[in-house]
């Protein structure tokens, strides 16, 4: 039971190590909530900014497996939940597309491009299509289509 309590587990691990009981030492390390596979460490890897600290700790401890796990769970990384949420905001999405392209991640760039200003306000964009359907406002997209040389869309 004590092996599951933070800090108490560290003391128990020390006692197992001094006694030379390798089996109990491994069991205590695996159940340590502050250890590399502990529930607290796993939970903290999902928190923005703290994940960066956890990656540094894993890197300093030369724990490649935990470092890779933390990188995959990084909420502000290329596929993180914070990044994906920000990709839904039109001007911010354009910046994120540029960052993804700069880092060479075409999949993430394409995902973010779906909410870019070009996609929303382009000839086939959602905002343009909606404006074409509103009486009185449809002259704006028609004018833009006309200026871009797309006479067929302008006459629609």
pLDDT digits (tens, 9 = 90+) for 91-128: 899 999 999 999 999 999 999 988 888 788 888 788 88
| Mean pLDDT lowest among 14-23, 31-40, 122-131, 141-150 | 31-40
Split at pLDDT 50, 70, 90, the class of 2 is low
CA distance 109 to 128: 23
Sorted by sequence, the CB contacts under 8 Å of residue 130 that are 6+ apart come out as: none
What is the per-residue pLDDT for 108?
92
Q: What DSSP letter does each residue of 107-137 carry, written as one string?
A: HHHHHHHTTSHHHHHSTT-HHHHHHHHSTTT
Residue with the larger pLDDT of the pair 118 and 23: 23
Confidence class of residue 155 from pLDDT cuts 50, 70 and 90? confident
Residue 48 CA to residue 37 CA, distance in Å, equals 19
Q: What's the rounded Cα separation, in Å, for the pair 126 and 21?
A: 66
Whether 135 shows a pLDDT value over 90: the answer reads: no
Q: Looking at the predicted structure, is the pLDDT value of residue 136 above 70?
A: yes
Residues 63-82 have a mean pLDDT of: 92
Q: Is the pLDDT of residue 46 over 90?
A: yes
Mean pLDDT value across the chain: 85
The highest-confidence range among 13-27, 38-52, 110-124, 132-146, by mean pLDDT, is 38-52
């Amino acid at each position: 039971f004590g092996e599951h309590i933070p800090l108490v587990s560290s003391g128990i691990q020390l006692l197992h190590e001094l006694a030379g009981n390798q089996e109990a030492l491994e069991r205590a390390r695996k159940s340590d909530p502050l250890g590399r596979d502990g529930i607290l460490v796993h939970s903290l890897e999902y928190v923005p900014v703290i994940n960066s600290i956890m990656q540094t700790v894993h890197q300093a401890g030369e724990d490649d497996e935990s470092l890779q796990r933390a990188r995959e769970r990084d909420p502000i990384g290329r596929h993180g939940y914070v990044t994906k949420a920000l990709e839904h905001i039109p001007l911010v999405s354009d910046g994120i597309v540029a960052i993804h392209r700069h880092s060479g991640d075409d999949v993430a760039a394409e995902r973010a491009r779906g909410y870019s200003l070009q996609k929303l306000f382009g000839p086939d964009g959602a905002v343009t299509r909606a404006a074409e359907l509103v009486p009185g406002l449809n002259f704006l997209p028609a004018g833009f289509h006309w200026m871009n040389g797309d006479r067929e869309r302008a006459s629609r």
